[in-house]
């Protein structure tokens, strides 16, 4: 027997409609790409996203078509997302930090028909345009006054394009399983792979993440997502913030410590979200300039492992730091480190250790760790295995790739190696391909990096495995010193001694001015290994 409740499909445009109705005057504040701070409201965003939808329909965009965006976090990008999927088309976020060849490859693979782009990216796209045969029109996210002279096909200023619509448009009626968004993984090996979100998966994911033990959003929150809309579905914040009526503060193109600090303060933000490198630079800024936070209560960090020292530094300023883990394939959040009742009375140091773990899965995500025979491993906080996930917002296959990605039990292999403790807190030990295999045992590169970053003179640390005649691989620690400091190999080894097993100690330390990063802000181990390809460990 079926229930007798209404069939109310979980569609993304219902979120912006709700925000306009219930939180219509709540602000969306952006640092515009043109420079000045721009202010609008959810009521306005909804009206203009209807115009986007109407305008796209007039340009011939149909259900299932892909419309690409190459843009920073601003109100225009937000409107575009809602407008695109409200027509039944698919927003395809392109990460501008990818290599130009990858950008062209992705746009061609997705067969995008229209590209909406920020002024910043006009030169990049002009250089690529010849290789983008599927793009019929370029919409530059600016107004007539700032529109550059460009030969891009059918180029138009977004504001002019939008002015041709009156917003008298009905959202498309769709099955909730209709594709809504497309985001390619950064693809450090091989071609990037497209993850195709549905309306339903995005709505469910955003609902799960709005909760107190997740992003803790409410109509009183003011959140600044430093995480870009083009990185892993913006961790759902483009949906969960309007869903809850939280004020959205969009940083545009300026993501340096000083600019982020300024926006956090002037807009009285209570929450923010971003990757560890962003927080390392914000921390350096506030420490150097002796600044304090007047309204910030909650800081979400994820995308790569957050060093314990980083968490401790923000917690010492009275900010609740929540460490999250996830991946593009998971919409993207898979776990968050709120403090459960069962652990809340632990000593402050133990709480910090726990916060450095990647946390527990919210409703909608099931996780397990397995051995190579796909047998479940115990949740004892020590045994590590392959981390596998299933859930309502986890991918079931990649876009246009004929490859099985789920195991026989319907779980997706994340490629991460992790432990899970008795309280359900998961800890990433490493990427399966980055773990250092020394004498048949595994050494976690992440754990060594997190430890090294606690040294007072270290700005950033990376650990890679280097070939060793006896042990197969041994760890090499690569350090970027803080400006004006000169840490030595000996001081680092002394600092780490006693804090890790003896055999985990890096065999050597190298100092560099910069560590390479991927397009999503992670340490690029592949490139780092290339850079140290000729390096030989010192003979002991
Ligand atoms: P992406 O799809 O670009 O978000 O990359 C996903 C991968 O980033 C995961 O499979 C992890 O290897 C890594 N990652 C994300 N968050 C964390 C975290 N908090 N700690 C450690 N690794 C992380």
DSSP string, 299-323: EEEESSPPPHHHHHHHHTTT-EEEE
Task: Tell me which of 227, 303, 427 to substitute to probe ligand 1's pocket, judged by most ligand atoms within 8 Å of the beta carbon.
Answer: 303
* 296 and 371 fall within a common domain: no
Q: How far is the CA of 174 from the centre of ligand 1 (A)?
A: 32
Residue 271 in any domain: the answer is yes
CATH number of the domain enclosing 113: 3.40.50.12780
CA-closest candidate to residue 515, choices 444, 466, 465, 460: 460
Q: Is 302 in the pocket of ligand 1 (CB under 6 A)?
A: yes
Strand partners, 324: 302, 336
DSSP at 73? B
Per-chain mean pLDDT for the chain: 96
For residues 417 and 477, what is the distance between their CA atoms, to the nearest angstrom?
20
**Is the minimum distance from the CB of 304 to ligand 1 under 6 angstroms?**
yes
pLDDT value at position 440? 79
Ligand 1 pocket residue status of 17, Cβ below 6 Å:
no
- Which amino acid residue places its CA nearest to atom 21 of ligand 1? 305
Mutate which of 522, 523, 524, 525 for ligand 1? The one with the most ligand atoms within 8 Å of its CB, which is 522
Q: Is residue 352 part of a domain?
A: no
DSSP H or E stretch at residue 363: none
Sequential pLDDT tens for the chain (540 residues):
999 999 999 999 999 999 999 999 999 999 999 999 999 999 999 999 999 999 999 999 999 999 999 999 999 999 999 999 999 999 999 999 988 999 999 999 999 999 999 999 999 999 999 999 999 999 999 999 999 999 999 999 999 999 999 999 999 999 999 999 999 997 556 788 999 999 999 999 999 999 999 999 999 999 999 999 999 999 999 999 999 999 999 999 999 999 999 999 999 999 999 999 999 999 999 999 999 999 999 999 999 999 999 999 999 999 999 999 999 999 999 999 999 999 999 999 999 999 999 999 999 999 999 998 999 999 999 998 999 999 999 999 999 999 999 999 999 999 999 999 999 999 999 888 898 988 878 899 999 999 999 999 999 999 999 999 889 999 999 999 999 999 999 999 999 999 998 999 999 999 999 999 988 888 999 999 999 999 999 876
Which pair of tokens denotes residue 97?
Answer: 């930090």
Question: How far, in Å, is the centroid of ligand 1 from the Cα of 444?
Answer: 15
3-state secondary structure of 235: helix
Say yes or no: 187 and 208 in one domain: yes
- Which residues are within 8 A (CB) of 169 and not within 5 positions of it... i.e. 6 or more apart? 50, 51, 53, 54, 57
Using CA of residue 244, residue 250, residue 255, residue 261, what is the dihedral sign? negative
Cβ proximity of 385 and 371 under 8 Å: yes
Point out the domain boundary residue: 280, 297, 313: 313
Cα-Cα-Cα-Cα dihedral sign, residues 144, 135, 328, 448: negative
Cβ of 536: how many Cβ atoms within 10 Å?
10
Judge if the beta carbon of residue 275 lies within 6 A of ligand 1.
no
Q: How confident is the model at residue 372, as a pLDDT?
A: 82
- Check whether residue 427 and residue 484 sit in a common domain: no
Pocket test for ligand 1, best of 278, 326, 332, 398 (most atoms within 8 A of CB): 326
Residue 57 lies in a domain: yes
Helix (H), strand (E) counts: the chain: 15, 24
**230 Cβ inside 6 Å of ligand 1:** no
Closest CA to 363 of 396, 343, 393: 393
Question: Are the C-beta atoms of residues 182 and 90 closer than 8 Å to each other?
Answer: yes
Which of 192, 325, 336 is the best mutation target for the ligand 1 pocket, counting ligand atoms within 8 Å of the beta carbon and taking the most? 325
Q: Which contacts of 101-106 are long-range, i.e. CB under 8 A and separated by 24 or more positions?
A: 102/187, 102/192, 103/70, 103/128, 104/128, 104/131, 104/132, 105/191, 105/192, 106/184, 106/192, 106/194
DSSP notation for 170-223:
PPPP--TTSEEEEEE---SSSS--EEEEEHHHHHHHHHHHTSTTTT---TT-EE
Residues constituting the chain: 540
Distance 341 CA to ligand 1 centre (A): 26
φ, ψ for residue 429, nearest 5 deg: -85, -40
Q: What is the CATH number of the domain that holds 452?
A: 3.30.300.30
| Whether residue 201 is found in the same domain as residue 77 | yes
Domain carrying residue 443:
436-531
Same domain, residue pair 440 and 294? no
- Centroid of ligand 1 to alpha carbon of 329 (angstroms): 10
On whether both 408 and 299 belong to a single domain, the answer is no
Q: Ligand 1 centre from 481 Cα, in Å?
A: 25
Q: Is residue 322 part of a domain?
A: no
Burial string for 157-179 (b: 16+ CB within 10 Å, else e) reads bbbebbeebeeebebbebebebb
| Domain-located, residue 539 | no
Residues assigned a catalytic role:
185, 329, 437, 442
Are the beta carbons of 96 and 141 closer than 8 angstroms? no
How far does residue 449's CA lie from ligand 1's centre (Å)?
Answer: 15
Residue 16 lies in a domain: no
Alpha helices for 357-458 (secondary structure H): 445-453
Read off the tokens for 62: 């149909």
**Residues 387 and 279 occupy one common structural domain:** no
462 & 508 share domain: yes
Please tell me whether residues 118 and 237 are part of one structural domain: yes
Specify whether 386 is located in the same domain as 453: no
386 and 449 part of one domain: no
For the chain, how many structural domains are there in total? 3
- Determine whether the shortest distance from the Cβ of 185 to ligand 1 is under 6 A: yes
Residue 2 lies in a domain: no
pLDDT (0 to 100) of residue 293: 98
464 found inside a domain: yes
Q: Cβ(450) to ligand 1 under 6 A?
A: no
Same domain assignment for residues 241 and 289? yes
Q: At what angle do helices 308-315 and 276-289 cross, to 10 degrees?
A: 50
pLDDT of residue 115: 98
CATH number for the domain that contains residue 371: 2.30.38.10
pLDDT at 188: 58
Give residue 71's pLDDT.
98
Buried b or exposed e, range 409-431, using 16+ CB within 10 angstroms: eebbbbebbbbbbeeebbbbbbb
Contact by Cβ (8 Å): 255, 230: no
Residues 6+ apart with CB under 8 A from 426: 325, 335, 357, 358, 359, 360, 361, 367, 387, 418, 419, 420
Task: Please state, in angstroms and rounded to a whole number, the distance separating the CA atoms of residues 129 and 359.
Answer: 43
Cα(319) to centroid(ligand 1), Å: 23
Q: Which atom of ligand 1 is nearest to the CA of 520?
A: 3
């Amino acid at each position: 027997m079926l229930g007798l409740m209404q069939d109310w499909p979980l569609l993304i445009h219902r979120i912006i409609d709700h925000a306009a109705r219930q939180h219509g005057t709540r602000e969306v504040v952006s640092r515009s790409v043109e420079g000045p701070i721009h202010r609008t409201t959810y009521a306005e965003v909804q009206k203009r996203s209807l115009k986007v939808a109407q305008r796209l329909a007039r340009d011939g965009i149909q259900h299932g078509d892909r419309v690409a965006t190459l843009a920073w976090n601003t109100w225009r990008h937000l409107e575009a997302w809602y407008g695109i999927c409200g027509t039944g088309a698919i927003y395809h976020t392109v990460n501008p930090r990818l290599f130009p060849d990858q950008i062209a490859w992705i746009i061609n693979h997705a067969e995008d028909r229209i590209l909406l782009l920020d002024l910043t990216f006009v030169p990049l796209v002009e250089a690529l345009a010849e290789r983008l045969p599927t793009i019929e029109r370029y919409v530059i996210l600016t107004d007539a006054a700032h529109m550059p002279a460009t030969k891009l096909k059918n180029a138009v200023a977004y504001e002019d394009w939008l002015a041709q619509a009156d917003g008298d448009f009905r959202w498309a009626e769709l099955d909730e399983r209709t594709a809504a968004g497309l985001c390619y993984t950064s693809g450090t090996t091989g071609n990037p792979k497209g993850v195709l979100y549905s309306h339903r998966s995005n709505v469910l994911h955003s609902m799960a993440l709005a909760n107190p033990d997740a992003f803790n959003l409410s109509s009183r929150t003011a959140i600044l997502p430093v995480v870009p809309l083009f990185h892993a579905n913006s961790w759902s914040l483009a949906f969960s913030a309007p869903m809850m009526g939280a004020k959205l503060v969009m940083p545009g193109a300026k993501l340096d410590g000083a600019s982020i600090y300024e926006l956090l303060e002037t807009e009285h933000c209570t929450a923010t979200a971003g990757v560890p490198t962003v927080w390392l630079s914000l921390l350096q800024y506030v420490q150097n300039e002796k600044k304090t936070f007047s309204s910030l209560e909650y800081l979400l960090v994820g995308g790569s492992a957050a060093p314990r020292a980083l968490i401790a530094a923000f917690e010492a300023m009275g900010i609740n730091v929540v460490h999250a883990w996830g991946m593009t394939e998971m919409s993207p959040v898979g776990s968050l480190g709120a403090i459960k009742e069962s652990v809340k009375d632990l000593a402050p140091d133990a709480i910090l250790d726990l916060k450095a773990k990647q946390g527990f899965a919210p409703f909608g995500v099931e996780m397990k760790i397995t051995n190579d025979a796909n047998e479940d491993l115990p949740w004892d906080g020590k045994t590590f295995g392959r981390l596998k996930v299933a859930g309502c917002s986890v991918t079931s296959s990649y876009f246009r790739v004929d490859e099985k990605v789920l195991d026989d039990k319907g779980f997706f292999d994340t490629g991460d190696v992790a432990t899970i403790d008795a309280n359900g807190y998961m800890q990433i030990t490493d990427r399966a391909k980055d773990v250092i295999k020394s004498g048949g045992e595994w050494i976690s590169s992440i754990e060594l990096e997190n430890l090294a970053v606690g040294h007072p003179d270290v700005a950033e640390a990376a650990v890679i495995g280097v070939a060793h005649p006896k042990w197969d691989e041994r760890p090499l620690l690569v350090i970027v010193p803080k400006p004006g400091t000169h840490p030595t190999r000996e001081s680092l080894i002394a600092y780490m001694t006693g804090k890790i097993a003896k055999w985990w100690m890096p065999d050597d330390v190298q100092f560099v001015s910069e560590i390479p990063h991927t397009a999503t802000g992670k340490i690029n181990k592949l490139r780092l290994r290339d850079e140290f390809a000729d390096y030989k460990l010192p003979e002991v």
